[in-house]
Structures are given as C-alpha cells and as structure tokens.
Amino acid sequence: MSASSKDIMVYAEFSAGSLHPVSFELLGKATELAKKASSRVLSVIVGYGLSGAIKELVFHGADLVYAVDHASMDNFDAKLFQQNVVAVVQDVKPGILLLGATPLGRSLGPRVGASLGTGVTADCTGLDITPDGKLVQVRPAFAGNILATIQTSTRPQTATVRYRVMKPAPRDPNRRGEVVMMDPVATEPSAKALSRSRSKRTDISNADIIVSVGRGLAKPEDLTLVRRLAESLGAIVGSSRPLVDDGWTLKEQQIGFSGNVVKPKLYVACGISGSPQHLFGMRDSEHIIAINKDPSAPIFNVSDVGVQMDLYEIVPLLTEELRRRQLRATRAGSTGRQTH
C-alpha cells in the first residue's frame, strides 16, 4: 500500500506511554475528509514502546501508520521529533498534515512547517475539503470576533487543530491497516536532561469539574477563596485571560479561544462577565453555574443557573455549606446512618 499526494496524515501525539485524545479526534475528522476526497488516512507517530498505540491508531481509522520507535524518543524533544516527523513527511508526501493544537503540537507544528517550507494554519476549529483535495481551514481571528476561512497553496497543507472541538473516531478492533516501521533519522537529543519527574498537574481540558475565576476577583491573594471552593468540589481552578495576562494565574489555566477548550460536567464561573472569547472555550459544558453581581453579564445567557451576587459573598458560603455536607456524610458513614 503506497501513499498518495491526496492522502491525509495525522500526527499522533504520544507521551508518558499513551496517546493524547486529540489524536482520535484528528483521525475522526481525517476519516470524514478522506471520504469526501476519495483519499486515505495516514498517521505518523514518534516515541518509544509504540506497539499498543499503533494498534489503537488503526482501530480508530488509520489506514497506514508510519512509526518511529526508538529509546531516544521516550521523552519529547522538539528538535528530535521535528527531524523525524519531517523525514517521514518528506518520504511519504501526503497532501494534508494535521497536528493537535496542544502544548506539544503548538511547539512541534511550526517547526515541522518551517522545515518543510509550508504554511501552518494554527488553532483551527473547523476543517473541510474540496473534491480536488484543497483543505478549507476555519479558525477564530481578530480576538475571536470573526471566523477566518483559509486555504494554503503550499504542500502539505498543514494545520494544528483545537482539542475537544472535533468528534473522536469510533474504535473498531476489527479494523486492519498497514504499519511501516521507519528507521530514525536522528537519535541525539538537543538537550541533556539532568533530572526527570512526571508532572502531577491535571490537564484542565479533561477535568470533570472546573471552578473558573475572572475580573470579579479584586487581588491575586483572593484566589484562595476560589481554590477552597474548588477543593470542596474536587475541581480544577481555571481562569479568564485577563488574570493570566496579569500573572495571577498560569497560562495552562486559561479558558477561551486563545487558551483551553473545556467540556466538563460542571463549570462554575466566578466573577466572569462572559466575553465571546471566553464563552468559546466553555459553552459546551454540561452544566454551567454563573456567579456575577452584574445582571447584564453575558455569562448568564449560557448558564443553567445564574447567581446575581458578588463572588466575595457567595463563594465562602458555598464552600462552607459543601464542607458541612461532606462532614455530615463522613460522620454518617462511620456510624452507618443515612443523612439527607
């Protein structure tokens, strides 16, 4: 099975021994596009210990997987991964190359694009294809106020795609595909690791419960109020962009079109007005509770429950009530009684 210049290649992100879920979303979209253009779905994966991941790529829609499996690729190294991905792409010559707009993908994508001499459309939220294989790329522009539709003339047509905006490909363990094991073209890391440790920080994009905070917070020291509420709910703390810009919260906590797209079971917005940029990142949450003292705040238009109060009044009360209930439940469990 040889590759074709019409084929669509997905970069499968593999780290810490597992595939990032964005890989399955890209395969789902690639399968949809390939049907329209009468082409096939390819995948390229770089890492170490890839046998299980390769099978999953086939099960999720890849017709042909190109794998670079080597001990030197056990940890992500931007230059090393760039060299090996570029070598595969240059050899295979697909018409389209898709990467996830994850922290890793945002680091790797531009490097690959520069090496290939092709343009890269970043942070796409929509993709389509013409019958002759031209990729139609849609992404927010001008601070998210408009959606730009883009076509690139260079090949491969390359784009990074937002996580959690595409439908994942279904898993079919009966699917069959071809696997090509590629020899690494480079194995020397660009930097020497003096020590290694796995981060314990949870990816906010995968959180089931998020307590997010915005401009309603008066000073960074008051983040403690929000963190306590999050702890009571077993939640992760998120934020709107202004707090990140001011250095109050971290970039990985940012929710919105220039941050993370989240779809938790519960999203609690504390002191967030609800700009279009922020709503883009959380509007698909299953349940949204909005706390804001401004009755005209746009966040109320997408919330399931709206609380028109200052976060400084309601958040401590909610936290205390949740802790009281948890304490009662713990005591009831220790005595075998039920409380309501």
CATH of the domain at 166: 3.40.50.620
Pair (234, 317) in one structural domain: yes
The pLDDT value given to residue 143: 61
Q: How many CB atoms lie within 10 A of CB 337?
A: 9
| Beta strand 18-19 pairing with 14-15 | antiparallel
Q: Who contacts 107 (Cβ-Cβ below 8 Å, separation ≥6)? A: 78
Cα gap 131→106, rounded to integer Å: 29
Q: Specify the higher pLDDT residue, 242 or 190.
A: 242
Domain annotation covers residue 192: no
d(CA 179, CA 253) in angstroms, rounded, equals 38
Read off the pLDDT of residues 44-74 as tens digits, 9 standing for 90 and up.
999 999 999 999 999 999 999 999 999 999 9
Residue-level pLDDT at 336: 62
CB 229 within 8 Å of CB 211: yes
Is 198 among the domain residues? no
Tell me: do 149 and 240 sit in the same domain.
no
In this prediction, residue 176 carries a pLDDT of 97
pLDDT per residue as tens digits for the range 101-159: 998 999 999 999 999 999 999 999 999 999 888 999 999 877 667 889 999 999 999 99
Q: Do 240 and 299 touch, CB atoms closer than 8 A?
A: no
**Which CATH number covers residue 302?**
3.40.50.1220
Alpha-carbon distance of 75 to 36, in angstroms, equals: 36
Tens-digit pLDDT profile for residues 192-203:
666 655 555 568
Q: Cβ(241)–Cβ(258) under 8 Å?
A: yes
Q: Give mean pLDDT, residues 179-197.
A: 81
Q: Is residue 262 part of a domain?
A: yes
Q: Are residues 298 and 208 in the same domain?
A: yes
Q: Is residue 130 in some structural domain?
A: yes
289: Cβ contacts below 8 Å, ≥ 6 apart? 266, 267, 268, 269, 303, 304, 305, 306, 307
Task: Write down which residue in 117, 150, 181 finishes a domain.
Answer: 181
- The reply to whether 129 and 264 lie within a common domain is no
Residues 174 and 241 grouped into a single domain: no
In the chain, how many domains are there?
2
Classify residue 189: in a domain, yes or no.
no
Pair 56, 153 in one domain: yes
Place of tokens 């074709």: 4
Together in a domain, 120 and 242: no
Is the separation of the CB atoms in 159 and 137 below 8 Å? Answer: yes
- Domain hosting 212: range is 204-335
In a domain? residue 1: no
Q: Residue 67 in contact with residue 181, Cβ under 8 Å?
A: yes
Task: Fill in the DSSP letter of residue 259.
Answer: S
The model carries a pTM of 0.81
The residue written with tokens 């997905």 in the block is 10
**Does residue 5 surpass a pLDDT of 70?**
yes
Same domain, 30 and 174: yes
How high is the pLDDT of residue 132?
84
- For the chain, what is the mean pLDDT? 92
Measured distance between the N- and C-terminal CA atoms of the chain, rounded to whole angstroms: 63
Same domain, 61 and 167: yes
Which residues fall within 8 angstroms of residue 32, CB to CB, at 6 or more apart?
Answer: none
**219-242: per-residue pLDDT in tens?**
999 999 999 999 999 999 999 999
Reduce the DSSP state of residue 130 to 3 states and report it: coil
Burial profile 59-76: b = 16 or more Cβ within 10 angstroms, e = fewer: bbbbbbbbbbbbeebeeb
At 165, list the tokens.
Answer: 């905006």
Say how far apart CA 87 and CA 141 lie, in whole Å.
Answer: 32
Residue 91 in this model has a pLDDT that exceeds 80:
yes
Q: Is the pLDDT assigned to residue 257 strictly greater than 90?
A: no
Report yes or no on 199 lying in a domain. Answer: no
> Is 175 among the domain residues?
yes
